[in-house]
Copies of this chain bind each other. A is one copy, B any other.
Amino acid sequence: MDKIARIDMGAAGGPKVTVAGLGEYAGLGGRAMTSLVIAAEVHPLAHALGAENKLVIAPGMLSGTTGSMTGRLSVGCKSPLTGTIKESNAGGQAAQVLARLGYAALILEGKPHGDDLYKIYINKDGIQVIVDNSLKLLDNYPVIEKLRAEYGDKVAYMSIGSAGERKLLAASIACTDPELRPTRHCGRGGVGAVMGAKRVKAIILDDAGMKMRPPQDPDGYRDANRKFVEGLRKHPVTGEGLPAYGTNVLTNVLNEAGGYPTRNFKGGVFEGAARISGEALAEMEIKRGGSATHGCHRGCVIQCSGIFNDKDGNYVTKQPEYETVWSHGGHCGIDDLDTVARLDFMDDNIGVDTIDMGVAIGVAMDAGIIPFGDREGAIRLVEEVGKGTPLGRVLGCGAEISGKVFGVEKVPVVKGQALPAYDPRPIQGIGVTYATSTQGADHTIGYAIATNILKIGGDVDPLKSEGQVELSRNLQIATAAIDSTGMCLFIAMAIMDQPETFQALLDMLGSFHGITMTGDDVVALGKKVLAAERDFNTRAGFTSHHDRLPRFFYTDPVTPHNQVFSVTDEELDTLFNW
């Protein structure tokens, strides 16, 4: 990982590849790489779909090594959805392969003039940018099927579906999993639209002939990794809950806490939650010959994913995530896993963020386009997205645009991005994260649910405003660092509770790079990333006034706790004071 490839899609005479050393970006990976490049190189007032924007694709600092859990890929740009800086990360195989190919970043720049569609093939010999108009408007599963016929099964694929080509603001970028299904998505913020604007349909990553990245201290790395894995296996969340039930283990937990947003945030408890819970999902997956325990990339020891089959045992989709089950389930008043799984497949195939897509459907339901609970109606709406009809384009642009077009007042977004599956009124810590995140409403960026609800890393009362800013601040700093390592964020569950597991992570980073890594170094890295992101946003015109939840969270109490969001503006404005 000693080089950066820049591909100028708008170069005179066709796309032009330039490969150079790391320069000022040496030592960076994942989100640190994407955010620092975007902050340094993209005009903050650039149009996100224009030639001035860049799409930075970066494996994590430890990706491509023998270390466990190191398969996260970061994609960064100025977001067409939020107008902020954006880092959207995903699992799948791409990060490991790209890292082994030696690239710390691919940077797509410029914008082609014509209508040609391109694919990019990268192997040990270099980078080819190839016109392939046969892929036009194909969705992700057919794209991968077509590419597999040409490039085979020993590669990793990244692609956009029709939504990305159409530059819909909620378009995602798909990464293939170990079985080469396009199921792992950089979902949030419309990164797929930026790839579509650059007319890049797919990236084929072929590491044949390449080796695992070697640590500076191989024995130390092996030893640290062993302790790290032991820690993950020992913790009840990463060792039991996630492997058995996946992220959807949260449905019952959040519903019982009264923090499960139901029917476009009208209530905090969904009467149909049990029917779409992780427990119900796992039972159904196993019964139908799928799987309730599956890893999104090789080297994963948590295995929080799964395989969802239909009642005849045929593959439908990967195990839908908790947030997907919520956005298409409780948020829409739908309590049927077959419907949710079908929608999950459609979202992955068309290439849209399951959160913004589902929230947009709920907003459309609130506008009366279809009734809450209408399973077939929800499927029809997503079909419209795939067809690119005007209605589909609106929905595929996410919840904010849908709310505006349909004249809905209650639209759960911050900085244009839909809120995920946790109501900020009864869980105030996550509200602080939504409001202050550098990237619009996002749960992973400072997952206060851990401490507010799961009581990991301490216990901060979710119903009170006290302590929430400090909690979110510390989580946002830690997350910015973890997102830079290539590590799956779920490791946070274990390292927050188990000091020896955190030490093992530090030792992995240290032994790999031949340095000593301390907790302070991790904090410094996280702050550096957040500072760059915040600086970009400030230059793009964002102020503390944008670090607020939609007004209805301050004015409309929600059942069962009958609370509003009560963290004050003044408290929110201290988040980045460190």
* 39-62 of chain A: CB within 8 A of chain B: 43-47, 49-50, 52
Residue of B nearest to A549 (CB): B45
Confirm or deny: A406 has a beta carbon within 8 angstroms of a beta carbon on chain B.
Answer: yes
Q: Is A539 part of the contact surface with B, judged by Cβ < 8 Å?
A: yes
Majority SS of interface residues in chain A?
loop
A133 at the interface (CB under 8 A from B): no
Smallest CB-CB separation from A384: which chain B residue? B390
A69 at the interface (CB under 8 A from B): no
Most central of A169, A197, A390, A394 by chain B CB within 10 Å = A390
CB interface residues, A 361-407, toward B, < 8 Å: 389-391, 393-394, 397, 401, 404-407
Chain A interface bracket (under 10, 10 to 19, 20 to 34, 35 or more): 35 or more
Are A545 and B550 in touch, CB under 8 angstroms? no
Chain B residues with CB under 8 Å of A394's CB are 390, 393-394, 405
Which chain B residue has the least Cβ–Cβ distance from A548? Answer: B45
Interfacial chain B residues near A196, Cβ < 8 Å: 407
> Is A561 interfacial (CB-CB < 8 Å)?
no
Decide: A551 near B193, CB < 8 A? Known: A401-B401, A404-B397, A545-B540: no
* Contact for A551 among B45, B169, B197, CB less than 8 A: B45
CB neighbours (8 Å) of A548 from chain B are: 45
Q: A455 near B: Cβ within 8 Å?
A: no
Q: Is A168 an interface residue (CB 8 A)?
A: yes
Query: Which B residues lie within 8 Å of A193 (CB)?
Result: 407
Q: Is the CB of B397 within 8 A of A46?
A: no
Q: Are B540 and A409 in contact (CB under 8 A)?
A: no
A43 to B569, CA, bound (A): 14
**Oligomeric state, in number of copies?**
2
- Give the distance in Å from the alpha carbon of A429 to the alpha carbon of B404 in the complex: 32
A49 touches B551 (CB 8 A): no
Chain B residue nearest to A196 (CB atoms) is B407
Q: Given the known A-B contacts A540-B545, A541-B545, are A405 and B401 also in contact in the complex, defined by CB atoms under 8 Å? A: yes
Check if A294 is an interface residue, CB within 8 A of chain B: no
Q: Which of the residues B47, B166, B540, B551 comes within 8 Å of A52, measured between beta carbons? A: B551
A169 to B540, CA, bound (A): 24
State whether A546 touches B551 (Cβ < 8 A).
no
Q: What 1/0 mask marks residues of chain A from 425 to 467 whose CB sits below 8 Å from any chain B CB?
A: 0000000000000000000000000000000000000000000
> Is the beta-carbon distance between B168 and A551 smaller than 8 angstroms?
no
- Binary flags per residue of A541-561, CB closer than 8 Å to B gives 1, else 0: 111011010111001000000
Query: What's the Cα separation between A458 and B211 when bound, in Å?
Result: 73
The answer to whether A47 and B551 touch across the interface, beta carbons within 8 angstroms, is yes
Q: How far is the CA of A550 from the CA of B52 in the complex (A)?
A: 13
Return chain B residues, CB-CB under 8 Å to A389. Answer: 390
User: Which of A44, A196, A541, A548 gathers the greatest number of chain B CB atoms within 10 Å?
Assistant: A541
Within 8 Å CB of A404, what residues of B? 80, 169, 397, 401
- B residues in contact with A555, CB < 8 Å: 52
- Hey, which chain B residues are within 8 Å of A167, CB to CB? 407
B45 adjacent to A168 (CB under 8 Å): no
Q: Which of B44, B405, B407, B540 contacts A405 (CB 8 A)?
A: B405
- For the complex, give the distance between the alpha carbons of A551 and B394 in Å: 24
- Residues of B close to A545: CB separation below 8 A: 44-45, 539-541
What residue of chain B has the Cβ atom nearest to residue A364's Cβ?
B390
**What is the bound-complex CA distance between A159 and B488, given in angstroms?**
57
**Residues of chain B lying within 8 A (CB to CB) of residue A169:** 404
Q: In the complex, what distance in Å separates the CA atom of A46 from the CA atom of B43?
A: 30
Q: Closest residue to A52 on the B side, CB-wise?
A: B551
> Are B391 and A551 interface neighbours, CB within 8 A?
no
Distance of A138 from chain B, by nearest CB (Å): 18
Separation of A407 and B393 alpha carbons in the complex (Å): 9
Which partner residue on chain B sits nearest A395 by CB separation?
B390
Identify which of A167, A397, A407, A552 gathers the most chain B CB atoms within 10 Å of its CB.
A407
Beyond A45-B551, A80-B404, A540-B545, list 4 extra A-B contacts (CB 8 Å).
Answer: A50-B552, A167-B407, A393-B394, A539-B545
Q: Which 8 A-B pairs have the closest CB atoms?
A: A541-B545, A167-B407, A390-B391, A390-B390, A49-B409, A50-B409, A393-B405, A47-B409
Give 12 pairs: A residue, B residue, CB < 8 Å, sorted on A: A43-B551, A47-B409, A47-B551, A50-B552, A167-B407, A197-B409, A390-B405, A391-B391, A393-B405, A397-B405, A541-B542, A543-B543
